[in-house]
Copies of this chain bind each other. A is one copy, B any other.
């Protein structure tokens, strides 16, 4: 049975890295002693080792040891044997390119569909959707495909941002961008604000956190849904 947390962000304002999620993660990873971390998205270009160390510090509060996937000779085997998997945020284009280049897409899908608990934050959440085509990131490198893991039958827009009142900037708002996505693509998009996450338990998908989320479906007006809404029907 799938057991997944798809979080908008690792970090909320005025809080430590992953701090707001720790009570949830304690339960989510309750059988995990060693967590496999995928640092490929490398925020601000930090190294895989630096990123893994940052994550290890956060998970030490739950007495969970963290090992980076780059520390293993055989990443596919590391995934198959993992007790739990966490993919951190950063740049989605770089993350997806590395997932393809290291040939681990299928291994992750198999492990998570078989019940290995998964956590994604930001870029690590984007890849839980059907495609990465609703990421906010800059395309700093060219991945071989935009198709992603498809743990949910729609797309994710993490760090969802409402239009800034009084802004004089003429660049597209997030909603305009997602509407442009829907001029070419039919799958729904869930705009997750910072502090929200989706909890996936088998085929049940539930919005968690204290904030509403914004749901975009092709040809319909966007709607706000409240925390604890069941989104399992969305596809």
Query: Which residue numbers of A lie inside 8 Å of B, CB to CB?
Result: 9, 11-14, 42-45, 90-91, 93-94, 132-142, 145-146, 159, 161, 164, 168-172, 176-185, 194
- CB neighbours of A182 from chain B (8 A): 45
- B132, A176: Cβ atoms under 8 Å? no
**In this complex, what residue of B is CB-closest to A132?**
B139
Max chain B C-beta neighbours (<10 A), residue from A159, A170, A182: A170
- CB neighbours of A184 from chain B (8 A): 45, 94, 140-141
Max chain B C-beta neighbours (<10 A), residue from A137, A146, A161, A171: A171
**In this complex, what residue of B is CB-closest to A15?**
B170
Question: Taking the full assembly, how many copies of this chain does it contain?
Answer: 2
**In this complex, what residue of B is CB-closest to A14?**
B168
- CB neighbours of A164 from chain B (8 A): 164
**In this complex, what residue of B is CB-closest to A169?**
B161
A13 to B11, alpha carbons, bound, how many Å?
Answer: 33
- B140, A139: Cβ atoms under 8 Å? no
- A169, B159: Cβ atoms under 8 Å? yes
- CB neighbours of A181 from chain B (8 A): 138, 140
- A170, B13: Cβ atoms under 8 Å? yes
- B138, A45: Cβ atoms under 8 Å? no
Q: Name A13's contact: one of B168, B177, B185 (CB within 8 Å).
A: B168
- CB neighbours of A44 from chain B (8 A): 176, 179-180, 183
With A43-B180, A136-B171, A159-B169 given, name 19 new contacts (CB 8 A).
A14-B168, A42-B183, A44-B180, A44-B183, A45-B179, A45-B180, A45-B182, A45-B184, A91-B180, A93-B139, A94-B180, A94-B184, A133-B139, A138-B180, A140-B180, A140-B181, A141-B184, A142-B145, A170-B194
